[in-house]
Structure 1
């Protein structure tokens, strides 16, 4: 069986994971039972060897494109003595190059001899194979294995992928894995993607590749291309993500700070670098690049200071300029958010601030960026955020809310607008005081945030006791009902025992008349937005306000969904 693996940025087919099933209808059909029984019978290594041969031969026979991910245990690689040259000869015989094979290390038992494992994998890599860790987070010691062998690919276990759009713990785990993968140069692969919401959120997180039933099921004769509908959906999500930040403020990336400057190579002499600096008075740094890979950065002031010392020009003038470079420069992909780069600068060594950083496109050098400019951009972003955020909840206010609506419309995204209003809030302020009223506002903001998917749903504070959520998560109605239940559970604590007993409180109206008000509740009005209808943010705001008005005609905590199309 073969299950496709796709590029989460453009829907391109990367290759397939090769899978094995036992005899149909037998207890050994499940690979788990098949391999468990084989190991108990002392035939585990023989079974693995046969499975590898079957998968590779079938892969070639079907003329499948791309790469093949081959499950293989560390035990098999080390104890069985992976016959490197023999395996290479077999591959040549069937017409399959090792560079198309990724050895996917599975963990059915703990790995202890890491030194031997590194030696084995080095020989595999020398032959052209690449290495992946399978089911990260599920095995005995997968994080230790990751740090020991530094794989080319990391496959995140499906437990952490399924339901990630509804589970903040899984979300945090995958975010952390993605950050480590980025820093270690590994490609992250999500396994077990089963819904459109999981796919979209994983794309938001920057996961590189993916596989799962939502993409394609395993098949003995799989398609040699990704379904056009899925490719369109993946590219649509990518366009939406690239259009800006879904939390309301634009997130500039390294590309915004890209500067093209003269570069040196290891063959460039020190005298040539000096001549370049002399001809370019504004040039602060000069990267040293070999075959598209940034090796180091030469800082103008350090270079001139050192060369000005006695006999330095005579000693080093004709030598390689690498004598003067700071090796292992800070490097960022062009789409890396500036917030991430600022963190890299702060956590890195002090010379990174003066040297700046190299910018790459899929690992190849394209230019440099200035650390000072990063800090300037970050400061400006913080000023803008403070200018437009609500001071009480720190949530985006009207300006970013409207910008976000326009951005989603421009990206052609379908979404749902939920307008939230607190009922009987003014009389509550009159009776209990505005400080307690502020507490309810903050409580409401916290509850709403709990029922939004980070990176997918957008939460804003219109002002006063009004909030807006732009829902893109598929289970938005369930989330709305969760908001109402959480608010109903929390709000009684804000009232006296007597008011709770009576189910409300009394306040005076403008004419001095005593009026009974029910306990504070929430009204949610939802409007479904079809971006293809060329609506404006003003039309959407008006429709959402009308839906909220309808919700407020329902007593208590209420949800009204406008099912009619917007006119």
Structure 2
């Protein structure tokens, strides 16, 4: 860097030539805004207009404190003027870890300081970027603990951008992990980044950490992230950064909500039973100031009590269980020492708290990953971070078992789609009700040969790819099931059939190319043995679709319907110009 850049940096800081733009962080469960990331932009013509270059220059020339302070204060002053920033929103602030551990920062960035902006500590999320090295990890860990104890939240930003991320995650135990946008680009194409994000999503579920995907730019990437269970995302597809706070467009919300309705669709209705709120029970809460002696009396008076949530201003600060209290007051002087103390002195602040919309199976994974001594503690359920109720381990295990039994009976284990039993029931239902509908039978051309060359694991990935595409383009209230192998059935309204076939066929043809080697793609074929054991060339796999539709399939029974579909399937595979064949009855 030369003196010109330094002079421009000093000018930007001295003249406060910085503005804040906000990009929403969106819930991938319902499309609502979870919070906003504050992003800094230079307001004057400058060689340092690129934010990354701006901060690198400030770091190199010892101006990082001044620049960081300017950006942060500008963000807070700007958000104060935004009436649409509510108490349920979070403000994500980027901060250099070496600034954060500075005593001066800890001294002034307090609850009292935030009051002038109308913000509480639990609304602030410090984004610590993985790109910035931490020079004194022990001191930094103590700083993180200090801010956590005061209600602030921590996020690791750009996870996956550098190699130190896992150490930083384990050292800080953050509330959020933000995935670097390079891990998100092309995730829908089934590349290595898909496997990495899938693993991180599972890790975060077990660790009770919220995962945020950055840089979402296409609907297909969004669908893939929702399918992996990533709870939050941001990116240009959802909403570009802007100086004013904006709601998410209704079209984006519809994409998110429709995806989940389709995902949980068996008979055209979403399954509300899969969410933890379904088995949540409102239980008695106590205040932080209640004396230990009084809490013990309440526990003794109700032998069936699971314990209490300690609540302040509607938020759960800790939990009290019989075992926890008994262990703490046991001993020669335990009761005498604590009986007149407030329960806040004894409550357990290390407890599991989950959002009411979290799926039951995810809650079960989190609960079962706890240490042995906490394995049977009840689980706290919240709505908008406020206390809603509790779930006992007994109720959780019973419901989880019930769901797993239903899944084993009705769902295909590879794709999670309804299996043969449900498909048959669905077809009978439509025939009996004499509904207007069309039925499609889909499979993959040359799948056996692909499987022989690339192996079962890659074959399963291609089947899963088709299943995901079938679900993502399925109109709301329609049905898709997995017969087995590479065979699927879809039942739709007649007017949706042609569009659905075209979209599924085109999307599969585009994405399946990423499941071939560069050499085979260049040739345009693979060499394998056919069913007679003769070696020949086979083109890139494609979707074959046979369909029947009518204003009313009147008088047709199940046997006739399946026989007609079987004949059409063979005929559709012989077609050269189209991948699908629809016959009106």
TM-score, structure 1 as length reference? 0.67
How far is 1:524 from its partner?
0.6
Which of 223, 226, 233 pairs up with 2:248? 226
2:125 aligned with 1:105, yes or no?
no
How far is 1:521 from its partner?
8.8
Deviations 1:437-464 (A, max 9, x none): 9x99999666423554499569854269
2:166 aligned with 1:146, yes or no?
no
Unaligned runs of 5+ in 2: 1-19, 430-437, 475-479, 492-499
Partner of 2:319: 295
Alignment partner of 2:171: what SS?
Answer: helix
Q: Does structure 2 conserve the Cα–Cα contact (< 8 Å) formed by 1:288 and 1:325?
A: no
Which of 7, 21, 24 pairs up with 1:2? 21
Q: Does structure 2 conserve the Cα–Cα contact (< 8 Å) formed by 1:423 and 1:552?
A: no
Which of 372, 378, 388 pairs up with 1:357? 378
C-alpha separation in 1, matches of 2:259 and 2:418? 23
Partner of 1:17: 37
Deviations 1:99-125 (A, max 9, x none): 454332224432141222234445556
User: Residues 83 and 387 of structure 1: is their aligned pair in 2 closer, same or farther, counting only changes over 3 Å?
Assistant: closer
Which of 480, 492, 496 pairs up with 2:528? 492
Deviations 1:337-366 (A, max 9, x none): 44445545654456667x463351346555
Q: Does structure 1 conserve the Cα–Cα contact (< 8 Å) formed by 2:447 and 2:541?
A: yes
How far is 1:525 from its partner?
1.1
Q: Does structure 2 conserve the Cα–Cα contact (< 8 Å) formed by 1:331 and 1:357?
A: no
Unaligned runs of 5+ in 1: 278-282, 304-308, 408-414, 429-435, 504-517
Deviations 1:483-542 (A, max 9, x none): 699699677245577x226x8xxxxxxxxxxxxxx999976117799xxx9999x99x98
Which of 465, 477, 480 pairs up with 2:506? 477
User: Residues 370 and 472 of structure 1: is their aligned pair in 2 closer, same or farther, counting only changes over 3 Å?
Assistant: farther
Q: Does structure 1 conserve the Cα–Cα contact (< 8 Å) formed by 2:441 and 2:487?
A: no
Partner of 1:399: 421
User: Residues 84 and 37 of structure 1: is their aligned pair in 2 closer, same or farther, counting only changes over 3 Å?
Assistant: same
Partner of 1:34: 54
Partner of 1:74: 97
Q: Does structure 2 conserve the Cα–Cα contact (< 8 Å) formed by 1:263 and 1:286?
A: no
Mapping 1:423-462, distance limit 5 Å: 447-453=462-468, 460-462=481-483
Q: Does structure 2 conserve the Cα–Cα contact (< 8 Å) formed by 1:261 and 1:286?
A: no
How far is 1:25 from its partner?
6.6
Q: Provide the aligned C-alpha RMSD in A.
A: 5.8
C-alpha separation in 2, matches of 1:42 and 1:535? 77
Alignment partner of 2:307: what SS?
Answer: strand
C-alpha separation in 2, matches of 1:103 and 1:326? 25
Alignment partner of 1:286: what SS?
Answer: coil
Greater CA radius of gyration, 1 or 2?
1
C-alpha separation in 2, matches of 1:393 and 1:69? 36
User: Residues 162 and 209 of structure 1: is their aligned pair in 2 closer, same or farther, counting only changes over 3 Å?
Assistant: same
User: Residues 210 and 527 of structure 1: is their aligned pair in 2 closer, same or farther, counting only changes over 3 Å?
Assistant: farther
How far is 1:212 from its partner?
0.9
TM-score, structure 2 as length reference? 0.65
Which of 159, 169, 186 pairs up with 1:136? 159
Q: Does structure 2 conserve the Cα–Cα contact (< 8 Å) formed by 1:103 and 1:132?
A: yes
C-alpha separation in 2, matches of 1:390 and 1:124? 46
Partner of 1:195: 218
C-alpha separation in 1, matches of 2:414 and 2:392? 35
